Amino acid sequence: MSKKVRDYPKLASDILEAVGGKENIANATRCATRLRLVLKRSDPKAKKKVSEMPGVITVVENNGQFQVVIGQHVGEVYDNFASLVDLETGDNEESGQAKGTILNRVIATMSAVFAPFIYILAAAGILQGMLILVTLLFPAFEQTGTYEVFSFISWAPFTFLPIFIAITAARHFKSNVYIAVAASAALVSPTWTEIAGRIADGETITFLGLALSETVYTSSVLPPLFMVWMLSYVEKFLNKRMHEVVRPLFVPLISLVIMVPVTILLIGPLSTIGANGIANGYNFLAENVPALAGALIGAFWQVLVIFGVHWGITPMVLANFDLYGRDSFQAYQTIAVVAQIGAVLGVVLRARNQETRKVGVSAGVTGIFGITEPAIYGVTLRFKKPFLYGCIGGASGAIVASFFNPYYFAYAGLPGPLTIVNAIGAESPSSIWGVLIGCAIAIVIPVVLIGIFGYGEDTAKDASGETLENTSSTSSTNQNEESIEAPLAGNIIPLSQVPDEVFSSGAMGQGVGIEPESNRVTSPFDGTVVMIAPTKHAIGLRSESGIELLVHVGLDTVSMDGAPFTLKVKEGDKITKGQELIEFDDSQIKEKGFVTTTPVIITNADEFEAVVIRDTQKPTGTEPLFTVVK
136-179 tens-digit pLDDT:
889 899 899 999 999 999 889 888 989 999 999 998 888 999 99
Which residues, at least 6 apart from 296, have a Cβ–Cβ distance to it below 8 Å? 395
Least confident interval from 1-15, 88-102, 225-239, 533-547 = 88-102
What does the alpha-carbon distance between residue 507 and residue 269 come to, in Å, rounded to a whole number? 62
Of 625, 628, 353, nearest in space to 486 by CA: 625
Q: Which of 15, 26, 28, 31 is catalytic?
A: 31
Query: Letter for the amino acid at 313?
Result: I
pLDDT tens digits for range 75-87: 788 888 988 887 6
Query: Letter for the amino acid at 534?
Result: P
3-class secondary structure for 355-393?
HHHHHHHHHHHHHHCCCCHHHHHHHHHHHCHHHHHHHHH
The predicted model scores a pTM of: 0.55
- φ/ψ region of 562 (left if φ > 0, alpha if ψ in -120 to 50, else beta) reads left
Q: Are 350 and 357 within 8 A, CB to CB?
A: no
pLDDT above 50: residue 461: no
Q: Are 67 and 61 within 8 A, CB to CB?
A: yes
pLDDT tens digits for range 247-265: 889 999 999 999 999 999 9
pLDDT tens digits for range 385-444: 899 999 999 999 999 999 999 999 988 878 889 899 999 988 899 999 999 999 999 999
Of 540, 530, 538, nearest in space to 571 by CA: 530
- 3-class DSSP assignment, residue 138: coil
What does the alpha-carbon distance between residue 625 and residue 33 come to, in Å, rounded to a whole number? 29
- Dihedral sign, Cα of residue 226, residue 228, residue 231, residue 235: negative
Using alpha carbons, list the distances in angstroms from residue 343 to 30, 107, 171, 362, 448. 27, 28, 38, 13, 9
What does the alpha-carbon distance between residue 574 and residue 142 come to, in Å, rounded to a whole number? 71
User: For residue 548, which phi and psi values (nearest 5 degrees)?
Assistant: -105, 125
Of 537, 486, 536, 541, nearest in space to 515 by CA: 486
Of 621, 608, 622, nearest in space to 482 by CA: 608
Supply the CATH classification number for the domain 481-629. Answer: 2.70.70.10
Q: Are 169 and 176 within 8 A, CB to CB?
A: no
Question: What pLDDT, on the 0 to 100 scale, is given for residue 218?
Answer: 87
**CATH architecture label of 8-85:** 2-Layer Sandwich (3.30)
**Which one is predicted more confidently, 89 or 556?**
556
Query: Letter for the amino acid at 181?
Result: V
* Percent of the chain scoring above 90 in pLDDT: 38
> Which of the 8 DSSP states describes residue 266?
I
Q: To 10 degrees, what angle do helices 329-350 and 431-453 make?
A: 30
> Catalytic site residue 391?
no
CB atoms near residue 117 (< 10 Å)? 16
Percent helix, strand, coil in the chain (nearest 5)?
55, 15, 35
Q: Where are the domains of the chain?
A: 8-85, 101-288, 289-463, 481-629
CB atoms near residue 32 (< 10 Å)? 20
Q: Are 99 and 64 within 8 A, CB to CB?
A: yes
Average pLDDT over residues 552-560: 84
Average pLDDT over residues 491-498: 86
